[in-house]
Amino acid sequence: MTRISDLLQAGRTFSFEFFPPKNDEAQVALTRAIVELEPLAPSFVSVTYGAGGSTRERTRDLVVQMRRETKIPPMAHLTCVGHTRAEIQDIIGAYVEAGVENVLALAGDLPADGTDIPPSDYVYATDLVEHLRSITDMCIGVAAHPEGHPRSPDRATDRRHMAAKLQMADFATTQFFFEVEHYVRLVNELADLGCTKPVIPGIMPVTNLSQVQRMAAMSGTEFPSWLHDELASMKTPEDVRRAGVDAATRLCAELLEANAPGLHFYTMNRSTATREIYAELGLPVT
């Protein structure tokens, strides 16, 4: 069973996200993380896609490698930015040939350095999902923003667009967040619109305060004052890391209590925080 939709139908999933390494040192770190996380028997892993398609080949290579060399089903990220329909069709063809069955369709980001990119045939992630549905029977996931997409004018509009997108897809994974109420509200508001597809919450343990604050600002995620104050009061980086992992563990427990269909961990290509959360929650390890 390698389609994520089938895995979700069978029960709760636990999954990890990686990004393609940029050099040999990063490759060593990623390989170590994969080896250390494999005993946790993840349901699947996802591999990110750089802004403007900048990691297109590295994403493909890592996804195909994991499909061939591990027992973990991989999910490849795809973005609208800088891609034509013909390019997407070629990418999907290569994945199908390699036996990859899952893809996450995203709007994507422009390169932060202002690098010029080719025009795209897509405007919104819904355009990409619609095209994917016409050319493949792969399992398709999409992204959800519990606190609303940063480009949405208001939450009601965001939820209507999210429900329409998710109706065409098989499931969603969320941007990271720090308070369970945001996730519960998202799921309830989608249900009010008639959309009950699985929405897997994304978890980002805070192991570096300034780094996660920057990421939260970029994604439109609120970094709550109680968490900032708790972490800022720590005396050492290790104290910050430990407190951040504890906060993420509490959030995971609350999400499981709220009947979330799974947990998706943003690992930052490291294994320690995820392994510690697994241990604290008593999740099975092979």
| CA nearest neighbour of 49 among 119, 87, 103 | 103
| CA nearest neighbour of 15 among 85, 75, 81, 89 | 75
Half-sphere exposure of 215 (CA within 13 A, CB side): 16
Whether 181 sits among the annotated catalytic residues: the reply is no
Number of neighbours of residue 51 by Cβ within 10 angstroms: 18
Q: In this structure, what DSSP letter does residue 38 have?
A: G
Residue 262, token pair as written in the block:
């799974």
Question: Catalytic: which of 17, 101, 147, 189?
Answer: 17
C-alpha pair distances (Å), 89 with each of 55, 83, 255: 17, 10, 37
Buried b (16+ CB within 10 A) or exposed e, 87-121: ebeebbeebeebebbbbbbbbbeeeeeeeebeebb
| CA nearest neighbour of 109 among 86, 81, 146 | 81
Q: In this structure, what DSSP letter does residue 109 have?
A: -
Sign (positive or negative) of CA dihedral 198, 199, 203, 204: positive
Contact 200, 264 (CB under 8 A): yes
Buried b (16+ CB within 10 A) or exposed e, 129-164: bebbeeebebbbbbbbbbbbbeebeebeebbeebbe
Q: Looking at the annotation, which residues are catalytic?
A: 17
